[in-house]
Every structure is written in C-alpha cells, then in structure tokens.
C-alpha cells in the first residue's frame, strides 16, 4: 500500500477494446434521433451535451435526463479492462480518484457504496472501498446514472458543492459531515484527521495525475488546483505540504505548452515522459511511484 493518490482519466481506457469517445458522441446523437446536431471541435463538451439534451427534450425524444445518462453509462461499461488497470491495482495506492464513470480501475462492479452519505446527483463523497483502496468517482458512476457529470449545469452544480465544502458551510444534514469548512478545519491545531471526501486529498496527499487531459471544461478540478495554489503562495495561513504531479508524454509537450505553463504557475509539478502514449508510458510512470 502506497500512501498516495492517483487521479486517473480516460487516457488509461483509450488502449482498451470498446467504444471510443468520438464513437460515443455519434451514438448519443443517434439515441436522441437528432440529425440537426453537428459535432465541432470548438464546442466545449459540457455545452455540446446541453445542446444534445435540450434539443431532445424539445422534440420529446425522452422524458427524463436519466434515460440519456443511463444509455451513456451502459455504453461506457462495455469498455474492456487492460493491463494498466491491473497494474494500478497491483501498486495499491491508498486512494484512486477517477473522472471515469465505469469500474475498470476497480476490476469489478462494487456491491456497496462506502460514502459517508448517499449522493444522488453530485459526487463529493462518492467512494467505494475494495482491497483497502479507496476509489473515488469524482464525476459520478454508472451505478447511479443521475450522477454522471456531463452537462454545463451539472459541472457548475458540482463546483458549487465543492466550493461550499472547502470555503463555506457544507449544506448536508448528515451528522457525519463536519459543519465547518475544510479551510477552517485545516487551520485548527488538530487539522484533518479523517478523509471523508476526495476533495480533502488535494490538500492532504501527494497526487499523481495520469491519463487526464485536464481540459479547461473541468472547472471543478481547475478550481481546486487554483485555490490550493492561492493557499500555497498567497494566503499562507495553512501549511500545504503535499505535491501534485501531472504526467504527459513528450510528444504532447509542445502542443500542451500553454496548459503546462498554467499548471506550473499553480504549483503543479509537470513530469514529461519520453515515451509514446501507450502501455510502456503508463508502466514507466506507475513503476516509478
């Protein structure tokens, strides 16, 4: 067991057999029976999703958004696991966060949700414990289709929940959730004794980000990165000791330079791996942890 956290994106799934993201978009459009929808690289996906969903609702293709999200959940669940999923489990990080909706990292569909509260829509506490590893699905999961984070409305609602948890007063009725903000708890002499949310990890554990493009539409993750940086460099009332590392293949470095500059400015260590994106790339990262 390694006392670290991984944040894993869809890049790890890209090497598996099954539906690809571009194909999934086509199938979503087909599901909504809308020939007026046109894909374009300039359309941010959360807004593109809203276009697809709202047009479908206006045309009465389905009655509930859950129907669309259930369809998407079923499609991504068809992706097969690969050797990198297995290697991640083998190195046994204490925490695995993922923006993916399926359970390839777990290697099985969990039978029990181990969150301190049950969340239907948002995913601040969404955790599954398997073999002493905490798996955190930060953007929802297939077992709870309504939680699958796709549209702009959902992203903004998720960010609102995160910000309330970190700097305001968490608006949950459960007695298991501290009524003080994470910020105020970090300022106390006792600090944080127990990790109840994946959000805690951004301030408490070393995080290694792999297979995640970290597009700017991921406003919840970017807000956490920038807020942590403000505590690190500007506020300084809290002693931030953990590190965040972002891994990228050398072949992508030049095109992603603008994003890497922003990450470095926010206290993220960028690690360039001189290997082609693929099994060898991820193996080199994971074996070095």
Q: What is the pLDDT of residues 155-169, one digit of tens each?
A: 999 999 999 999 998
Q: Is the pLDDT of residue 52 over 80?
A: yes
Residue range 222-256, pLDDT digits in tens: 999 999 999 999 998 898 999 999 999 999 999 99
The Cβ of residue 261 has, within 10 Å, a number of other Cβ atoms equal to 11
3-state secondary structure of 98: strand
User: Looking at per-residue confidence, does 271 or 45 come out higher?
Assistant: 271
Task: Look at residue 88 in the predicted model and tell me its pLDDT.
Answer: 97
- DSSP β-bridge partners for residue 7: 97, 209
Could you give the C-alpha distances from 207 to 40, 105, 127, 177, 227, in angstroms and in order?
33, 17, 17, 23, 15
Q: Is the pLDDT of residue 20 over 80?
A: no
Task: Look at residue 34 in the predicted model and tell me its pLDDT.
Answer: 82
Residues 6+ apart with CB under 8 A from 5: 93, 94, 95, 96, 97, 201, 205, 206, 207, 208
**Helix H or strand E encompassing 165:** helix 152-167
Task: Look at residue 241 in the predicted model and tell me its pLDDT.
Answer: 92
Contact criterion met (CB below 8 Å) for 76 and 102: yes
Structure-token pair, residue 189: 């002499």
pTM for the whole thing?
0.95
Q: Is the pLDDT of residue 174 over 90?
A: no
The pLDDT mean for the chain works out to 93
Q: Are strands 207-210 and 127-130 parallel, antiparallel or unpaired?
A: unpaired
pLDDT-derived band at 173 (thresholds 50, 70, 90) equals: confident
pLDDT-derived band at 177 (thresholds 50, 70, 90) equals: confident
Residue range 73-132, pLDDT digits in tens: 999 988 899 999 999 999 999 999 999 999 999 999 999 999 999 999 999 999 999 999
Could you give the C-alpha distances from 151 to 47, 185, 223, 230, in angstroms and in order?
6, 32, 17, 28
pLDDT-derived band at 23 (thresholds 50, 70, 90) equals: confident
CA distance between the termini of the chain: 11
Task: Look at residue 37 in the predicted model and tell me its pLDDT.
Answer: 86
> What is the arithmetic mean of pLDDT over 5-11?
96
Residue range 133-152, pLDDT digits in tens: 999 999 999 999 999 999 99
How many whole angstroms separate alpha carbon 201 and alpha carbon 5?
A: 7
């Amino acid at each position: 067991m390694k006392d670290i956290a991984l944040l894993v994106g869809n890049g790890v799934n890209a090497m598996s057999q099954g539906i690809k993201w571009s194909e999934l978009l086509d199938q979503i459009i087909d599901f909504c029976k809308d020939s007026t929808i046109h894909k374009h690289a300039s359309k941010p996906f959360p807004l593109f999703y809203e276009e697809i969903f709202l047009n479908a609702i206006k045309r009465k293709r389905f009655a509930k958004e859950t129907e669309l999200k259930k369809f998407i959940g079923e499609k991504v669940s068809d992706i097969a696991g690969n050797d990198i999923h297995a290697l991640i489990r083998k190195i046994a990080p204490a925490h695995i966060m993922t923006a993916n909706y399926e359970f390839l990292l777990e290697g099985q569909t969990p039978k029990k949700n181990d969150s301190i509260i049950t969340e239907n829509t948002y995913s601040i506490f969404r955790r599954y414990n398997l073999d002493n590893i905490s798996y955190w699905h930060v953007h929802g999961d297939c077992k709870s289709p309504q939680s699958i984070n796709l549209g702009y409305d959902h992203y903004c609602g998720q960010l609102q929940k995160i910000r309330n948890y970190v700097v305001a007063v968490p608006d949950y009725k459960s007695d298991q959730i501290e009524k003080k903000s994470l910020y105020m708890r970090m300022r106390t002499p006792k600090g944080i004794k127990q990790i109840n949310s994946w959000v805690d990890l951004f301030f408490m554990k070393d995080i290694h980000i792999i297979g995640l493009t970290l597009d700017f539409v991921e406003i919840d993750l970017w807000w956490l990165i920038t807020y942590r940086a403000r505590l690190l460099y500007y506020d300084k009332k809290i002693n931030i000791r953990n590190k965040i590392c972002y891994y990228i293949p050398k072949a992508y470095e030049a095109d992603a330079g603008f994003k890497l500059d922003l990450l470095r400015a926010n206290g993220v260590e960028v690690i360039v791996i001189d290997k082609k994106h693929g099994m060898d790339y991820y193996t080199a990262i994971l074996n070095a942890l």
